[in-house]
Structure 1
């Protein structure tokens, strides 16, 4: 299903809005114990899911109940519900992770390994996101880190505006169909005219690419 269809399905099942960021929205389950993170476009979603699975035994990442890629390059993650922590606590956790401190050494090694894979495989994969908001508290009181991996949005979207053919060549259309529909709740608003211009430029780039490679599947 598409990201919008996934959102509507969960809302119809009694989930409620739980917040929004630049790349994704969150919904909260009817019993309050789980969160659905839905992004219209998130190339790094599979790598975040891989981190949560591989580091689950450390109890320093969120519990991941399910992960699904959505039509058009979207991403759905079902996670345990988390709450914010004071910024000094979050910053201290990030410092420990960056230093590979003993209490987070195993997590740090897994983060480095998965991030290296993402940087190797994904165009425009950014550095680790040290935003304090990415450290949160689980219901049992432990601190966890999430959303460490992200696409370098400013570089990616600037390239899409200036050189859409490069984006079309590096990211298949099927994996970026909704890339102009990310929420931008923190950095926005995103001018509707600019969005439409980018959509049109990418569509034209896809058409040029299809004319040159008529059998290529996107």
Structure 2
């Protein structure tokens, strides 16, 4: 990295990896993805992701189940961003993904170890403001190059509630999330549920800045 971690933010990471030959390969609401030149590694880069450390913990603690991606590195980024480098995965059919989610929901024997770890870490994540329930999006079930199914991104912040609060009650956001952990919250891609409404990002940034100023003067 040209900028040392954790001083680097999501822009620094994206710029550095693109210069090194990584190529865009996807985007969601919270992050973009770049693929390594050899095709074996994917970098998930988020400007703002409070649940990133919990997802990384899941990948590490459930590694023995072989039902989560192999995580190579995880770094928190300046301003509340998150970088995960993991193995390249491929999408699966929606019915196959739904069946895997159903197995997790019912704690089927073949995923029992995984489910126990998921539940334990998700309980720990409840300390986060606006922590959401488990994400049952079929796109979160993918296939590794050896054919096994893995589940990704089960944990997430409740985006609609979080961002609605940021727009209508920025003072509450300021009291719950330190500025250093939400500096780039208006830069998430919203590629799945967006795009951002015109002017919404600027208005949200202005509202949060005023709320921060009120906090420092009281």
- Name the TM-score, length of structure 1 as normaliser: 0.96
* Cα shift readout 1:24-73 (whole Å, capped 9, x = no counterpart): 00000000001000000000000000000000000000000000000000
Alpha-carbon distance in 2 for matches of 1:2, 1:132: 29
Determine which of 1, 10, 30 is the counterpart of 1:3. 10
- Name the SS of the counterpart of 1:61 in structure 2: coil
**RMSD over aligned Cα atoms:** 0.5
Q: For 1:78-136, what per-residue CA distance to the aligned partner results, in whole angstroms no more than 9, with x for missing partners? A: 000000000011000000001110000000000000000001x1000000000000000
Partner of 2:117: 110
The 1-side partners of 2:99 and 2:164 are apart by 33
**Distance in 2, Cα, partners of 1:192 & 1:19:** 23
| Alignment partner of 1:189 is 2:199 | no
Report the number of matched residues.
211
In structure 1, C-alpha distance between the alignment counterparts of 2:19 and 2:120, rounded to whole Å:
38
1:18 and 2:17 matched: no
Q: Which runs of 5+ in 2 are unaligned?
A: 1-7
Deviation at 1:4, TM superposition (A): 0.6
Gaps of 5+ in 1: 213-218
Deviation at 1:187, TM superposition (A): 1.0
SS of the residue aligned with 1:69? strand
**Runs ≥4 residues deviating over 6 A:** none
For the residue of structure 2 that corresponds to 1:105, the secondary structure is helix
2:177 aligns with 171
The equivalent of 1:57 in structure 2 is 64
What is the Cα deviation at residue 191 of structure 1?
Answer: 2.0
CA separation in 2, counterparts of 1:32 and 1:171?
Answer: 36
User: In the alignment, what sits opposite 1:75?
Assistant: 82
Instruction: Normalising by structure 2, report the TM-score.
Output: 0.96
